[in-house]
Amino acid sequence: MTPQAALRAMDRAVEANIDPMGMVTPLLHAQLAWLSHPQELSEALSGFANDLLQLQWHAWRRALGMPSADVERPHPDDTRFADPVWQETVGWDILKESYLLLTHHLQDRLYETPGMSSKDRRRAAFWWRKWLNAVAPTNFFWSNPVAIRKAFESRGESLFQGLKIFLDDLEAGNVRMTGPDDFSVGKNLATTPGKVVFRNRLLEVIHYAPTTATVYQTPIVIVTPWINKFYILDLNPQKSLVGFLLDQGYSVFITSWKNPTAEMRDVAFDDYLSEGIERIVATARNISGARQVHAVGYCIGGAALAAYMAWANCRNAAMPVASVTLLASLVDYHKPGDIEVFVDEGSLKWLSRSMAEKGFLDGREMAAAFRLLRSNSLIWHYVVHGYLYGEKPAPFDVLYWNMDATRMPAKMHQWYLREFYLNNNLIRKDALTLAGERIDLALITQPLYSVAAKDDHIAPWRSVFRINNYVSSSTRQVLTSSGHILGIVNPPVAPPRREYWAGTALRHDSSESWHERAEHHQGSWWTDWMAWLQPQSGRKVKAGAIDSKEYPALVDAPGCYVMEP
């Protein structure tokens, strides 16, 4: 069989659901590509053999008690080999370095695979990395010296506790990252006082009680992602973005989305605009009496808000939004990060068939995919510390929220993956028709504040930055430290190591040219945001009622939808 015929056979395997998520196929593609380029393969093997000889010499020197520098070291963010035993004991040091040498060589070579596109190289490297992470010596009792030591020191108690944790996780059907009883929404999460003032089939609108005697004329509307529940922005009083905005003198409204069931299979992306964002904007304007609102969108909520802004600028002579703030939100999906490995034509067809049967994408499936993106820290860390060390995971509100997964309506999610991820149509003029309007991001002229996170693996910061190349707004761009969650949930009382870069972004800027002239600051970007937003918020007025005749209070915050499993 020729390599081309083999590739066609593997593509048919994807179609036949033998490899629906494309895990095996890119690895076989890479192997065939190397076999088809013997000269490059010979050079790669020669380099690997040379490093093996260096490792052998290093092992002999260590065995003879002679000083010797490591041949291969873990990456700075790899904590699997942090215990001193991996460095101090010769046998464990050589096992560690052998594993790292093989891992790093394979990864580097896959990124250089001849005859493959850059996207296919990234996919092959991603899946190899997942397999190599799974077989790390730290993941098995007899090749993990820390696990062996703990078992001896505890006289087997660590293994007994680990077995209990394993059986509990097996019953739950999940490797749990925090205890299910450590937190409770409405009790020690999402506790900011407020009322649900609007409800329809898609969302509840929560209006929070003011904490100041006067508030700015222009209220803030927050569009949260429906991939997760809204309370990531209201975790607790110390981490709550909602609470921070209230204390700054704003009237705050937020979306709490319905967790879809099979009956909502035909809910479309258009509905999230017309029955979601449009409704919360109207609710906030009615209750506050304001002509306009400040709109904030996070993650997919930000992508939807950008689409809404293009849509609203098409149809509204009196634009209801004064400014836009986007938090870790993609509009250009050309390079969406590691998540692209889950989105291609084959995997989308498989997902579409699965969603057609159930009417939704199960939240556990999505959560598992996101955890795979950072498998060492989000999966294997808990396997090792739980099952091998017998350590229960510590209470952590962010991880509890992360496990509180939601479903996606079949029609919406299929359309979103195809039109945004596969076709990248959000940035293309007139390529999308939403709720009756052909949209164009260039129609967005309202002031824009865009926040990207330096270590974000879901919305890579250089891709987030590219919104500046499509809108007509005056834009302040911010790059914050940390990742997709902690880069945004970043209160001023955060650890002093937090930092950010901020500055005006021009339409012709690249991420590199902007970053060269951006100002560096220590601390939280929240204070910079307030300095940008407050001058656009009008004068202070007496804080008004939390509801109105047209929008009466229905229940106390955090509402009903957030409680639905």
Residue 492 confidence (pLDDT): 92
pLDDT band, very low/low/confident/very high, at 8 (cuts 50, 70, 90): low
3 pLDDT more than 70: no
Nearest Cα to Cα of residue 468 among 441, 493, 486, 497: 441
**Which whole number is the average pLDDT over 7-22?**
56
Mean pLDDT of 32-50: 88
What is the signed CA dihedral for 302, 491, 320, 268, rounded to 10 degrees?
30
Tokens read off for 250: 């704003």
Q: Where does residue 60 rank: exposed (0-12), middle (13-18), buried (19+ CB within 10 A)?
A: exposed
Q: Give the list of residues 6+ apart from residue 171 with CB closer than 8 angstroms, or none.
A: none
**Which residues are designated catalytic?**
299
Predicted local confidence at residue 12, as pLDDT: 54
Who has greater pLDDT, 488 or 47?
A: 488
- Return the HEC string of 166-215: HHHHHHHCCCCCCCCCCCCECCCECCCCEEEEEECCCEEEEEECCCCCEE
User: What residue type is 82 in one-letter code?
Assistant: A
Predicted pLDDT at 194: 98
Report how far Cα 208 is from the mean position of its chain's Cα atoms. 26
pLDDT in the model for residue 518: 96
- Residue 38 has a pLDDT of 87
As a whole number, mean pLDDT of residues 445-466 equals 96
pLDDT at 2 over 60: no
CA angle, 561 as apex, 558 and 565 as ends, to 5°?
A: 115
Structure token pair of residue 292:
């306009």
Give percent above pLDDT 90 in the chain. 73
pLDDT at 548 > cutoff 50: yes
Give the E-state strand segments of 107-151 in sequence order. Answer: none
Instruction: For residue 281, give the nearest of 246, 253, 244, 314 by alpha carbon.
Output: 253
Instruction: For tokens 């739980």, name the residue.
Output: 386
| Domains with residue ranges and CATH for the chain | 3-139 (no CATH), 194-563 (3.40.50.1820)
Mean pLDDT computed over 66-75: 88
Q: How many residues does the chain have?
A: 565
* pLDDT score for 409: 96
Structure tokens at 9: 């056979």
d(CA 293, CA 277): 12
Cβ-based neighbours of 209, under 8 Å, separated by 6 or more = 192, 193, 194, 195, 246, 546
What is the structure's pLDDT at 464? 97
Global pTM reads 0.92
Query: CA 260, CA 95: separation in Å to the nearest integer?
Result: 48
User: 349: which 2 tokens?
Assistant: 């067809």
